[in-house]
Amino acid sequence: MKLCVPLPCFFNNLPFKEAIEKISRLGYKYAEIYDWKHLDIEKAAKALDTFGVTLLSMCTSEFRLTDPDCRSLWLDGIKESCEAASMLGVKKLITQVGPDTGAGRELQHKSIVDGLKAGAGILESAGVTVMIEPLNIKVDHPGYYLTSSAEAFDIVREVNSPNVKVVFDIYHQQVSEGNIIPNITENLEYIAHLHAAGHPGRHELQYGENDYKNIFAAVDKAGYTGACGLEYSPLLDPEESLALAGRLYAVN
């Protein structure tokens, strides 16, 4: 399993270059960020090149797909995010789908599908994949629309674009639904990236109820070739935590 470091989880107060240098020194080759607008993109691209780290993903600048009145804002966000991704060598964008607006779920579902279809041409031209993310509403994201991985996979099937996929967050889906290994391995064609954290608490993987060694082995055996972002809040010193994760779950 390729492990990826979401920089804000570990080094949120460090300049981008320093954070990239730290993870490179720890043996990590892959990183991700959330908000790209705070970056000096030219300097960030140089830092990635200097330390041999690939920025695998970042977030779109707009998230509100559930509301059709916000579609033009979301599409504008896709355009500017694809431009930034191109300069940073990023091939994947994470987009949350937005809050439950209170409209019928079938209407919100359709709004998400229609928005993604409208953005598919932009993504395909840029060579960038956007990934929708189911989140849990029991602990972390009350009021969010998309909680079910099954609905996320349905949305991807309906959009029917190679540039629209799912980021499957194992922590969120453990909270929401469980059945982690089958839900991943039976739907690899719709999944472009993984996130992981221990549950409960959203800390180091080894402190939770999931056996991540078994999960990663099963996912690798099923043919997954992507990466997993260590999206947790460390209880240990950040560098110690990442070094231990690399030993336990194999950085490559």
The Cα-based distances of 208 to 171, 243, 250 in angstroms read: 9, 18, 18
Kindly state the DSSP code that residue 95 receives in the 8-state scheme: E
The arithmetic mean of pLDDT across residues 11-15, rounded, is 96
Q: Which amino acid is at 234?
A: P
The closest of 205, 187, 207, 185 to 195, measured between CA atoms, is 205
pLDDT confidence tier of residue 252, bands split at 50, 70 and 90: low
Q: What separation in angstroms does the CA of 115 have from each of 66, 99, 118, 162, 223?
A: 9, 15, 5, 15, 30
In the predicted structure, residue 231 carries a pLDDT above the cut 70: yes
pLDDT one-digit tens code per residue, 94-148: 999 999 999 999 999 999 999 999 999 999 999 999 999 999 999 999 999 999 9
* Rounded-to-integer distance, Cα 44 and Cα 19, Å: 11
Residue 21 has pLDDT above 80, yes or no: yes
User: For residue 232, is pLDDT > 90?
Assistant: yes
**Which domains, and CATH codes, for the chain?**
2-249 (3.20.20.150)
pLDDT tens figures, 180-227 = 999 999 999 999 999 999 999 999 999 999 999 999 999 999 999 999
Residue 250, pLDDT score: 79
User: How do strand 164-169 and strand 191-196 relate by DSSP bridges?
Assistant: parallel
DSSP alpha helices (H): ranges in the chain? Answer: 7-11, 16-25, 41-51, 71-88, 105-126, 149-159, 170-176, 180-185, 212-221, 238-249
In which band, very low, low, confident or very high, does the pLDDT at 251 lie, cut at 50, 70 and 90? low
Encode pLDDT of 72-86 as tens digits: 999 999 999 999 999
Give the C-alpha separation, 29 to 74, whole Å: 30
| Calpha distance 127→105 (Å, rounded) | 31
Q: Report d(CA 100, CA 143) in Å as an integer.
A: 6
